[in-house]
Structure 1
Amino acid sequence: MAEYDFIFPENPKRRQEVNRLHQQLLDCLSDSFQATNKLIEVLNTHLGCRLASIEMQRDGTIKENCDVIIQTMTKIQKEMQKIDEALKDKLEPTLYRKLQDIKERDTEKIAIVQKVISVILGDVTSTTSAVAVKLIASNVTSGIINTLVKVLGQIGASLLGNITVAVISLGLDMIVRAILGAVEKTQLQAAIRSYEAHLVEFKSASQKYHHAITEVINTVKHQIK
C-alpha cells in the first residue's frame, strides 16, 4: 500500500472503481464506432453515399474519439437531409405529410418513397425505399443521433475528455496519474462522479442508437429475402 493510502484507506478501492468505469466508457465508445460503421455500410450500399468508415484511435483521447463519431454523425445527417429535402420537393404535400406521420405504416411509407426515389438517386436497389423510410421518416437521424451527439459532446468537454483511450492498459497507478495527476481522495471521488453521471446518459443513448441501427439492418435483410 502506498504511503498516501494510509491517509486515505479507501483510495485503492476508488482507483479500482475509476478503472472499472473507464472500461465501461471505452466499451460504449467502441459500440458506437461499430454501430456507426454498420450504418455507413448500409448508406453506401443502398443510398449511394460515399462515407468513410471510422476507427477508434487507441492513442487518442476520449474527446478526440468522441469528436470522430460526432463529425461522422453530422455527415450522415447531412446526407439524410439531402434525400429528405429531395423527397419533399418531388412528392405531393399530402404524401410527404404521410411520410412524416409516425402513425402511418412503414409499408405505406415505402410505397410513397418508391414513387420518386429512383428520380432522386438514379439506379437503386430493392431495399433503397425501406432504408430511406427507416432513416428519414423516423427519429433515427433527428432524435436518436442528436441525443448521442449531445452526450458525446458533454463527455468530450468534461474532465474525462483529456484521458487517453489506451490508459486502461497502463496499470491502476498510471491510470490515476494520467487522469488526475495525483491520488487525493477528493480527486478520485470527482472522477468517479463524473464517470457515473456521463455513463448513465451515454449507455442509454448508445443502446437506443445501436437498437435503431439493428432495426435498419434487419429491414435490409428482410427486403433481400
Structure 2
Amino acid sequence: MLHRLQAVPPDPILGIIAAHAADPNPKKIDLGIGVYRDEAGNTPILECVRQAERQLIANQTSKSYLGPPGVPGFNSATRALIFGHDTAAVEENRVRTVQTPGGTGALRIGADLVKAARPDARVWASDPTWANHLAIFPAAGLELKSYPYFDRQKSALRFNDMMIALAVCGPEDVVLFHACCHNPCGVSPDPQQWEAITDLAAERGFLPMVDLAYQGFERGIEEDCLAVRLF
C-alpha cells in the first residue's frame, strides 16, 4: 500500500532557514518563518508565558481528558479577546468556541464542517494566499477557487476586482479572508472596505471564513478583530 505514496515537495521555508544558517553575514535577518527572535537569533520564552505556566502547574487539579470543545476557561478568554466582552453576538449566544491543535487544525476542522454541511461547496481563497490554504481545503474534498487580491506591480490591494469576483458567489460558497497581516503580501482592507465586504456577504449569502493568525500585529488587539466582528 505505502509504495503508492508520492513524496511531497520540500518546504521552501526550510530551505530559507538552512540558507540563513549557512550565511556568514553578521547582519543577516531571517524572515522565513513567523516567529519572534532576539538579536542572538533565539526565541526566548516571554516572562508572561513563564508566569502562566507556573500558575497552571500550581493550580491544576487533574490530568484527565478534555471534552471535545477543549479547556472551557481558555475558550471563554479567547472568545472575549476576539469578539469583546459585551458584543451582541456573545450576549445573544450566537458564538461557539472550540479549541483546536493550532491554526492549521482549526482550518481543517472548519473545512470538514463545510464538507459535512454542504458537500458541493466551493471555497474561494485570495490570490495570493498562505500556501497551506491550498492544501487544506482540497484535502477535505472541497473545490478550491481563487479571487483577485493583490496587484504585484503596484503593491496594492485589488479591491474593486475582488468585489467584482465575489459578487458571483452565493450560499453554496465559502470565502476565506485574512483578518489582518495578510500572508504573504501583508496588505489588508481598510475599515471601510471591510464594511463593504461584509455588506456583500450579507447580500450574496456566501459564508465568510476568517483566518485570524496575527491578532495585534497590524493595527492593534481590538482593531485587528474588525473583520470578525463585522461578519
- Higher relative CO (Cα under 8 Å, sequence separation at least 6) belongs to 1
Normalising by the residue count of structure 2, what TM-score does the alignment of the two structures yield? 0.19
More strand by proportion, 1 or 2?
A: 2
More helix by proportion, 1 or 2?
A: 1
Q: Which has the larger radius of gyration?
A: 1
Normalising by the residue count of structure 1, what TM-score does the alignment of the two structures yield? 0.20
